[in-house]
Structure 1
Amino acid sequence: MQRKIIHIDMDAFYASVEIRDNPELRGKAIAVGGKADSRGVISTCSYEARKYGVHSAMPSAEAVRRCPHLILLPGRMSVYKEVSAQIRAIFARYSDLVEPLSLDEAYLDVTECQACHGSATLIAEQIRAEILAETGLTASAGVAPNKFLAKIASEENKPNGQYVVTPDKAAEFVSALPLRKLPGVGPRTAEKLEQMGLQYGRDILSWSLAELSEKFGKFGHSLYQRARGIDERPVQPSRVRKSVGVETTLAQDLRTEAQCSAVLNGLLPELIQRLRGRPFKGLTIKLKFHDFQQTTAAGQADRISADILDSILHTAWQRAAGRRVRLVGISVSLSEETQIKQLSLDL
């Protein structure tokens, strides 16, 4: 049976909640994020702010520079979680197969849903109408035969719209799709693709899986399949957590490896608390530099020791090439073992 997948994505979720609760903000450039003078980062912003080039993950200081009249709000996570719970309750009326991706977006498999005569298009319209009626917020939707196409489609008519990719139109849709819109294609990959003369989905079709894998490694397989509209991933109501991590953005840039080591050791108590004794099989250290480029270094380990941390950090630090460090993070890959072991510390 052909799957019917809906991807629902709330429109500027955090900012929209703030505008809903304070109508005086309507029509103004607002953003939710940290303070501009303390290394804050934008979580989301209104569409009025986006006209000035403000976007999520942008440093708040840069956002204010681009939009001097930007209204910067600290955010109310407890309220956002409450609204998200309302939205998920609406999803549950239509399917048990709901895979939340974050507080403001989710996949729904409505293949077996009999509402709206089984029409996924009408189901998506009805869900969006109920979200608006019950929360006062707008949502956009993508309807397609798989998750990849549904997610891309949900961006086509934002805000407060939806787009349908029927099975017979999937190949045509992907053929004209800019490759930079594919999940996993960042600025560097997009640049590499363009240098190879690859800009749209249709440009990939003449490349074999072996050729793409040679050029892009594991991502080559994803390119090959997505350019053909293939995505066999099921909607998963619950996902196994594969890693646990913690990171911090520094008030002042770090200039030495020793400073990074001190910050890492300061993060360990919180990491240990989040692990809750679960066994793990690998450590990863993340450094983000002052130019916002970042690197990660990893090593196999089932315990945390000073030697292991120093070794992995040294590998990451070598890539700094004189750059200052603005963010330090550490994460562990969780073991598949079901038996809970006591975390071993050897510091």
Structure 2
Amino acid sequence: MQVEDTKKDFLIVGFGVVGLSLAKHLLDQNTSFDVIANLKPRASSVSGGLLNPVSLKRLKLAWNADLFHFYAVDFYSSFTQLLGQSYLQDKPIYRIFSSIEEQNLWFSQPESKPINKYLSSDLIDLAKVDNKFRSAKVIDSYLIRLRELISDFSNYLIGSSRFIQANFNYADLHLSDSCVKYNSRGYKHVIFADGYQVINNPFFNYLPIYGNKGEYLIVRCTDLSQDKIYKPSKFLIPLGQGLFKFGATYERDFTDDLPSASARLNLNKELEKFTTVDFEIVDQVSAIRPTSKDRLPISGQHPKHSSLFTLNAMGSRGIMSAPHLAKNLINSIKTNETIMDQVNVNRFTRKHFKSSPSLY
């Protein structure tokens, strides 16, 4: 097989929030790369797009929130100069209390607790929703227009000959001591950012990564404010032009990635309980989030093939964690920076990896 004379540094497989984060860091570092992806909507483009440091169900800080959150804000802001528009919107989340107990929990957080800086101390009355126990605001929450960002950034990379629009074919990947060959192109490193599709990846499908199906309703409700993100049982997220996204569900047992009638019914019932104004369901979307056995991301090098890497299992917090973890992985490859212990793929190697010399 003849390989092009010009060998690039990286091939990124997949272009959700992880692939996007990897590509942006490599672009900023003036490092050569290609992305290969089919751009079919997956978990990232279907997600709510929330950049929220607080777990509102348990009222705890998300894992590594202080490190990841503000880094992500700067990261998404940096696309404004590159692509000519802003994808980061300052949108407050209003936690709608369903009981006095929930309200008391919010306001009983000690001032010394790190979460306290993200919780407003003001009780708020919201109009046109069931708000009898009132609400309070999350400080420093944002909304990322991730679907538009993925589309615009992929078009930018296509225009600069860094994006291959195709399904990745593992049979076309050939490993040697000097480089990795994919079709007629050569690369020094391959990073798989393939999300739940890792189940079809012969190099990393040994990892304990599981699917979690999430579904949203897209509703039209012109009577509610587009300046707020509402959080009763689930998130009601403004999309503009009177549209909102309501969800998401978390389903471990599923047979496909298609919208389901049961999720539509349950989400509709929950939204009816919350709103006091009319709404119209205009669409329903779904996708499968990848999550690991211990619910932490997975990052690092293949145990046998030193040129292959993975960054996966972002769960529901990928928008916040992917930018920093992508930079950490790239720097580990280029400058031997240490991969964060809690996400290092090595934690699963001894128990889950079995070399298969007959295949790879």
Shorter-normalised TM-score: what interval? Answer: under 0.3
Structure possessing the higher radius of gyration over alpha carbons: 1
The structure with higher relative contact order (CA 8 Å, sep 6+) is 2
In terms of fraction of residues, the more helix-rich structure is 1
Question: TM-score, with normalisation over the residues of structure 2?
Answer: 0.22
Question: TM-score, with normalisation over the residues of structure 1?
Answer: 0.23
